[in-house]
Structure 1
């Protein structure tokens, strides 16, 4: 039996459990619901990497990475990036290390594919997850994506 958290691909057997993941109400403005992420994963299947975070038999969160995207979107692939696209930890499971575990899982996948940096975007401000990402070693790049702060973590 596996102990500790693990990630699982989204399958017909666990898609309902994934969609049932809900963040705290005060966080809903900062992260899209899992159902939206799964629709985006379907539409961007070549670059999306959605996963359910499970501890024992308990679904505790959802993550979605983006892998090798054309960040500038201009077709030149002059700025190819990978990173954490979405992170939803269930409201009653927060503060138990699952967010850190999710970032480490994405970092491991990026390293496995030969990458050396992990990007993320987040809602800025005191009510956003910026402090969480800074504690993990991310640094803001000075860029924004829409209204989100872009940050990077070196994996070397």
Structure 2
């Protein structure tokens, strides 16, 4: 019987599995390592929502979301979304990325949000195709060197 993916909070019991998660070597320049994300979560308590993506007892990915942050710093544009998504080397193409986005969307809806924001590196080696296929649309903005996209949640 096939198992379903699920999210796990980061705990002392799964910390090593989290920081040892690696994306494909040709993708390392596209996303921060999990250990950096966990450090950011530590210094942004209450904003960052880090979770492992697991299939049974196996760690297959990592996501970090954010909720209701002041996007521009001007107090007028509050957003929620997917901050990081790392799918383990050898585990892509199995629905874990889609599961991660759907899980964050569910949490945003639960908190009263209607849009999911994320960023991605543009270019042929970036994940634009993945996000566009899920319904994200570029906003025309950039965040550093990344494209900003949003998904309307129904």
TM category (shorter chain) comes to over 0.9
Distance 1:67 1:42 in 2: 15
Distance 1:27 1:45 in 2: 28
Residue in structure 1 matched with residue 13 of structure 2 by the alignment: 13
Distance 1:44 1:67 in 2: 12
Q: How many residues align?
A: 153
Residue in structure 1 matched with residue 113 of structure 2 by the alignment: 115
- List alignment gaps of at least 5 residues for structure 2: none
Deviates more, 1:136-145 or 1:9-18: 9-18
How far did 1:117 drift? 0.2
CA deviation profile, 1:46-100 (whole Å, cap 9, x unmatched): 21000000001100000000111010123x2x10000000000001111100000
Residue in structure 1 matched with residue 38 of structure 2 by the alignment: 38
SS of aligned partner of 1:134: helix
Residue in structure 1 matched with residue 4 of structure 2 by the alignment: 4
- List alignment gaps of at least 5 residues for structure 1: none
Distance 2:129 2:112 in 1: 28
Runs of 4+, deviation exceeding 2 Å: none
Q: Given the alignment of the two structures, is residue 61 of structure 1 paired with residue 64 of structure 2, yes or no? A: no
Alignment of 1:79-90 (within 5 A): 79-90=77-88
SS of aligned partner of 1:93: coil
How far did 1:142 drift? 0.1
Distance 2:125 2:134 in 1: 18
1:125 to 123, 126, 141: 123
After superposition, the CA RMSD in angstroms is: 1.0
